[in-house]
Amino acid sequence: MAGKISRDYYQGNFTVETKADMTPVTQADVECEAAIRETILGRFPDHGIYGEEMGRTQGDAEFLWLVDPIDGTKGFVRQYPFFSTQIALMHNGEIVLGVSSAPMMQELAWAERGVGAYLGGERLAVSSIEDPQRASVSTGNLKSLATSDGWERLGDIVAAADRIRGYGDFYHYHLLAAGKIEAVIESDVNILDIAALSVLVTEAGGVFTDLNGNPPGLETRSVLAANPMLHARYLGLLRGFVG
């Protein structure tokens, strides 16, 4: 249902408002989240939901659904196809399930803790490249990193890499989990942006932390995601520069 709503609005027939944090919100965001909430609560009425547009309900629930109805709203407003719906399930503080749906690119990825990660019905696995000179690295949302001492350290990674791109939003995590790039580095995110994607990457054999090496949680604001060999190397360079 959420995918149909976002596709129907994609051509631009929607209103746009600016939230208190100066980010845009559209009719599509609100209607997608309402549809997702209705579906989840219809099946699991005792579960909590933390959504991008409607906030958090039943915050002390054992199960908490994390919902970003349109991740990439700025791109959606300008008719970029790189937006997605992100839904994750947290059980007692641990993210155990994630679904990442990109309707315009026809990509549906999902992962469950201990079960594996899948895209289009095929199981995903991160790459085994461990040489930083052969690595493809994707970056996103780097404003806070750019104003910290970590910017120079990121430059060391960029200078050594075989290929640098900024695929952004959901897409570089899908590529990482599929073994098509080796690392993603981001700052200025929130947990709703990346919760589902964290399960996707880890179940594909990767490591997903913030730039201090902490596992993803409700307060996560940055990401270092990579195959295990390169994650350890890059974390040694970037640790401590962004929260």
pLDDT digits 0-9 by tens, 136-147 = 999 998 988 898
Whether residue 5 has pLDDT greater than 90 = no
For residues 116-121, give the mean pLDDT.
94
Q: Measured between alpha carbons, how far is residue 43 from residues 30, 97, 200 in Å?
A: 20, 16, 23
Tell me what the pLDDT averaged over the chain comes to: 90
Whether the per-residue pLDDT at 10 is higher than 80: the answer is no
In eight-state DSSP terms, residue 83 is: -
pLDDT at 31: 85
Q: Give per-residue pLDDT as tens, 61-101.
A: 799 999 999 888 787 778 888 889 999 999 999 999 999 99
The string of pLDDT tens digits covering residues 18-41 is 777 767 677 778 888 999 999 999
Residue 231 CA neighbour count, 13 Å, CB half: 24
What pLDDT is stored for residue 75 in this prediction? 78
What gap in Å lies between CA 199 and CA 115, rounded to an integer? 10
Q: Looking at the chain, which runs of residues are DSSP E strands?
A: 16-18, 24-26, 48-51, 55-57, 63-71, 84-91, 94-102, 107-112, 116-119, 122-123, 136-140, 163-165, 183-187, 207-209, 222-226
CA distances from 92 to 41, 191, 192 (A): 18, 15, 16
Q: Which of 199, 218, 192 is nearest to 71 (CA)?
A: 192
Provide the pLDDT for residue 30. Answer: 86
Confidence of residue 242 (pLDDT cuts 50, 70, 90): low
For residue range 56-69, list pLDDT tens digits in order: 887 677 999 999 99
Q: How confident is the model at residue 8 (pLDDT cuts 50, 70, 90)?
A: low
What confidence tens digit (pLDDT) does each residue in 106-118 have? 999 999 999 999 9
Q: Which domains does the chain have, with CATH numbers?
A: 2-123 (3.30.540.10), 132-238 (3.40.190.80)
Contact 216, 209 (CB under 8 A): yes
Please give the average per-residue pLDDT across 155-178, as a whole number.
96
Query: pTM for this structure?
Result: 0.92
Give the chain's count of helices (H) and strands (E): 8, 15
